Structure 1
Amino acid sequence: MEFVKEFATFLHQKGIIKFGDFTLASGKHSSYYVDLRLVPSYPIEFRKMVKYLENQIVEDIGLDNFDSIVSVPTGGLVIASALAIETVKPLIYVRSKPKDYGTSKSVEGKIHNNMKVVMIDDVATTGGSVVNAVKDLKEVNISVKDAYVIVNRMEGAADALLGLGVKMHSILNILQITETLFEQNLIDENVLEKVKKQINK
């Protein structure tokens, strides 16, 4: 848990997690915003995060039990690329919409029938982009049993993925982050309560 505390503190110190009033990509309002696209700007923490993710995957499912790492642009793809280099695993990715030129396919990279892949993303809210990617992969006979995210916002993604037979794992969830920050007096009780309320909605 030492990494979790250290990483949560780092996210707060560098303004990667902000508290206030935000509108998300989905149009929903949120009492906080997590922008993990900033993490690669801090190479030491970025590498620690990728190593921690790699260790989790090794512990949970082992590196020999899947063929490739898959992700969705853009946030998750940077993390997945670094992970692919660390684990020496092939990388594929799923476009949010097929390109309208060239081969016009949605899944990019070397694929074959009955492949087993592990999905990587940065932040999970309702799981929309990952759910769509899993469906696209199923259409080309690629099976996903596990998805890993860095931060789980605890707003339905795990259930949405479970409905497709995918187990979601996360390095941190928003409750762990806010409770860690509260314990260190970095945020007040009011902020913590707002986050809890949002999760329970």
Structure 2
Amino acid sequence: MTISNPILAHDVAEALLRIGAVSLSPEEPFTWASGLHSPIYCDNRVTLSDPTTRALIADGLATLVRENFDAAEVIAGTATAGIAHAALAADRLARPMVYVRSQPKDHGRGNQIEGRLTPGSTVVMVEDLISTGGSVLDAARAVEREGSVVEGAVAIFSYELERGRQAFEEVGWPLFTLSNYPTLIEVAESMGRISAPQRAALETWSADPQAWSDAH
């Protein structure tokens, strides 16, 4: 997982904290859908409601595509949280956009990919948040089953979990993110959102999320 621009990573982290898209609570952990207890909760859907942050992210994702996947012909968003961000980035890039459902529809034409995706097209995936990488990688596999070629993925934020890093390494698709967990907790401390002991707790979670979850 790679961040192309440390200054942009700082700005995106600051914006996520400022608008409340990210909440940090080492003392009262959040419970993820997986059941994992975590001191951080990130909801990037909130960014769509803030025009300044929305533009920062759309411009940033478009730049990541230009710098790392400029030959990609189609922008593909993951359902549901990646759809709007993919559309905004595709608009700035003046490229076609599709989105990928988690499962094919059980009615109509049974589509899993919505929009027009021509076999043989080169595609870059857009996701809002990377934890284990499972959802975006499943979407990418669906794209390849339709006969297109996935070049890689871009995302707003990554928790930088080892499981996610390994998942992308195994499939060989590069991932570029606007910001990530280490940058966010550094910015949170500089903004006075967390204390030094809280930062230490957050770093402990990052090193071994399962062990931290079991202890809380």
Q: CA deviation at 1:195?
A: 2.1
- In structure 1, the residue matched to 2:212 is none
Of the three residues 99, 104, 120, the one matched with 1:93 is 99
Instruction: Give deviations 1:121-168, integer Å, cap 9, x for gaps.
Output: 000000111121122122111211210011011122232122122111
C-alpha deviation, 1:99, in angstroms: 0.7
* Pairing 1:157–2:169 present: no
Higher relative contact order (CA 8 A, sep 6+): 2
Task: Give TM-score, length-normalised by structure 1.
Answer: 0.93
- Letter paired with 1:15: G
Amino acid corresponding to residue 18 of structure 2 in structure 1: Q
The answer on whether the counterparts of 2:69 and 2:124 sit within 8 Å (CA) in structure 1 is no
Q: TM-score normalized by structure 2?
A: 0.87
Which amino acid counterpart does residue 10 of structure 1 have in structure 2? A
Quote the residue 1:16 is aligned against: 21
* Structure 1 match to 2:143: 137
Does the 8 Å CA contact 2:103/2:112 hold for their aligned counterparts? yes
Deviates more, 1:51-60 or 1:145-154: 51-60
Is residue 105 from structure 1 mapped to residue 111 from structure 2 by the alignment? yes
Question: In 1, are the aligned partners of 2:75 and 2:86 still within 8 Å (CA)?
Answer: yes
Q: Kindly indicate whether the alpha-carbon contact (under 8 Å) linking 2:152 and 2:175 is maintained by their aligned counterparts in 1.
A: yes
Q: Deviations over 1:106-128 (max 9, x none)?
A: 11111222211000000000011
CA distance in 1, matches of 2:157, 2:62: 15
**Alpha-carbon distance, 1:6 to partner:** 2.9
Percent identical among aligned pairs is 26
2:12, 2:137 → 1: CA distance?
27
Contact 2:80–2:101 (Cα < 8 Å) also in 1: no
Q: Which runs of 5+ in 1 are unaligned?
A: none
* Cα distance in structure 1, aligned partners of 2:191 and 2:107: 52
Question: Cα offset for 1:61?
Answer: 2.9
How many residues align structurally? 199
What pairs with 1:10-49 in structure 2 (closer than 5 Å)?
A: 10-20=15-25, 21-49=29-57
SS of the residue 1:148 aligns to: strand
The reply on whether 1:183 has 2:193 as its aligned counterpart is no
Flag structure 2 segments of 5+ consecutive residues without an equivalent.
1-5, 209-216
Return the alpha-carbon distance in structure 1 between the equivalents of residues 117 and 16 of structure 2: 35
Residue identity matched to 2:56: K
Q: How far did residue 185 of structure 1 move?
A: 2.7
Give the match for residue 211 of structure 2: none
